[in-house]
Structures are given as structure tokens and as C-alpha cells.
Amino acid sequence: MNFTAVGAVIQVAESGSFVEASRVLGLSTSATSKAVSRLEEELGVKLFQRTTRRVRVTPEGESYVEGIKPLLKQMETVTAEVTGSMMGVQGRLRISVPAAFGRIALLPCLVEFTAQYPDIEFDLILQDRHVDLIDEQVDVVIRAGTLTDSANLIGRTIYKDTLVTCASPSYLKDMGIPDSVQSLEQHRCLNFRNQQTGRAMPWLFKDGQKITVASRWLMDDGEAIARAATLGAGISQMPGFMAQDALRNGMLQEVLAHQRTASVPYTALYLDRRLISARVRAFVDFLSEKF
């Protein structure tokens, strides 16, 4: 396999330009064009339609690029694994993590990790959405709760948390303390919006109880909900890691503690490959030990 030609094909397909692909590859435009032409001759198919103004990928070219990219990624992984003991843990780690968990719980771990492995660079996606590891070139994704799309992925539970129902002492003094799940209907509740559905997330309690409480406030940012709760806006249910500091300093008070749900797992997921890069393995091992 002519890796220069394969790389040229991928770059031209992604950039839509021989000039831009040549710049990325560090080759002359002529060399890039010749490499692509040689590969087309070897394959016996036309990968691009060229005119003086534009380059368009043919259907055969699209199939080739989509098929070859995962193979090249796997070869990079194998090479990294083989050379890992010589090169050490280094390179860029692209990580997707729920926003609040990333800012509150994960960032301190990343600082410790880079102190241990100074040649690591991080590229963080702090968003409450599911990402496609292949399409978005993500090395590790961290997800909370039950996994619904983990096929072809390797997962390791790195952390277990509980959901805490809580409010500020001033709110509870004015409005009273709920003594049952059903009594939440009489309270002002702060809800988190599910970004996939646009609806309020249900509240979870012991023995599988799941209720949707009427929203006085509906927000798509967990830290904003926690802040509103500390200011006395109402009762909220939030992850323990988000509430722990405010509970400790008295800004929040837990209610319905006897109805707490079972722990919620946080799982680190990465692509199901025979070999994983040294940096991914070191990172997941570090998180498992740290948490």
C-alpha cells in the first residue's frame, strides 16, 4: 500500500482541493496530483472528477475514503502500541465528557495526569450530548447512566455517584420540607432539560421510582440549576459531585435522603480495537484508580 497516495486521497477528499491537501501534506501540488493518479490507476477506478475550478469526489472515491480511514486509524494505533514503550505516553487525547462533570470532577484529574505525563495534550469536548467516536475522532468518551449505544466500544466504569435531592435552608424554612416523593408536587422544582428530547429530565428515586415534576425553572445547564438552588429558587435533584461542596458548607440541604436512588455509573468508553494507544490506556487506568 502506498501510504503517501492514500493520505493524499483522504486529504483531497476532506479539503476538496489539491492545493489545500498539498499544503497539509507538505507536498507540491504536482506531487499530490501524481500520487492520486497512480493510486487511481492501481485501483482501476476514478476517485475524483477534476475540472479547472473544482474537485468532486466520485461515489467510488467516497466508498474508498470511508473504508480506508478506519484501517489507517487502526494502523496508527498498532504503531503507537508497538512504539509506546520507547516513546512513552504522549500525544493528543480528544475526550468527550458531560459539561458539569468535566468542569467539576474531571479537570482536577487532568491536571494531575499531565503532571505525571507532561507530553500529553488534551482536546476536551464539554457538552451534554452523545458523540460518534469515529466521525468526531474522539479517543475517550465519558457517559453517565445506562449505556444505550455502546456496541463496538470497550467500557470501564470509573466512578459511581448518587443523585441528591436538595434545596437551600432558606427555601425549606419558607416552604417546608417534603416528606414524600409525592409531596414534591407542592414545591417549586428546578428541572434539567434533556438536550436530545427538549423535555425535563425525570427525577429518580429508590425502588425504581421515576417521576416528572412540574417545572418552575427549566434549564439545560446543571451548574446553573445548582446555583439557582443555593439562591433559594426551589428544590432540585442533581448529581452528588455537583452538590457536595454546597452540602458541606450549608448552602444546600438534602431532602428525601431515605428515597435516594441506587448509584449512577460513569463509564469511560473507547473504540473496540485489538490494541489501544498507550495514552488511552494510561488515561483510563489513571481515572479508574483516581476515582
Q: What is the pLDDT of residue 86?
A: 45
Query: Torsion-angle region of residue 54: left (phi > 0), alpha (psi -120 to 50) or beta?
Result: beta
Q: State what percent of residues in the chain have pLDDT above 70.
A: 92
Q: Which CATH class is domain 3-84?
A: mainly alpha
- The domain ranges of the chain are 3-84, 89-152+274-290, 163-262
Residues 25-41: tens digit of each pLDDT? 888 989 999 999 999 99
Residues 111-147: tens digit of each pLDDT? 999 999 999 999 999 988 878 887 788 999 998 887 7
Q: For residue 28, with 0-12 CB atoms within 10 Å meaning exposed, 13-18 middle and 19 or more buried, which class applies?
A: exposed
Same fold, 3-84 and 89-152+274-290: no
Q: What is the pLDDT of residue 140?
A: 94
Q: What is the pLDDT of residue 87?
A: 55
Mean pLDDT of 103-112: 93
CATH of domain 163-262: 3.40.190.10
First to last CA, the chain: 44
Phi first, then psi: give them for residue 244, nearest 5 degrees: -60, -45
Q: What is the pLDDT of residue 276?
A: 72
Phi first, then psi: give them for residue 95, nearest 5 degrees: -125, 135
Q: What is the pLDDT of residue 129?
A: 80
pLDDT higher than threshold 80 for residue 42: yes
Cross-strand bridge partners of residue 191: 218
Q: What is the pLDDT of residue 216?
A: 82
Q: Which helix (H) or strand (E) holds 267?
A: strand 264-271
pLDDT higher than threshold 90 for residue 169: yes
For 89-152+274-290, CATH number out of 3.20.19.10, 3.40.50.300, 3.40.50.2020, 3.40.190.10 equals: 3.40.190.10
Q: What's the predicted TM-score (pTM) here? A: 0.64
Mean pLDDT of 196-206: 88
Mean pLDDT of 249-254: 97
C-alpha count within 13 angstroms, C-beta hemisphere, residue 39: 21
Residues 58-86: tens digit of each pLDDT? 999 999 988 888 887 777 766 665 655 44
Q: What is the pLDDT of residue 274?
A: 52
Q: What is the pLDDT of residue 117?
A: 92
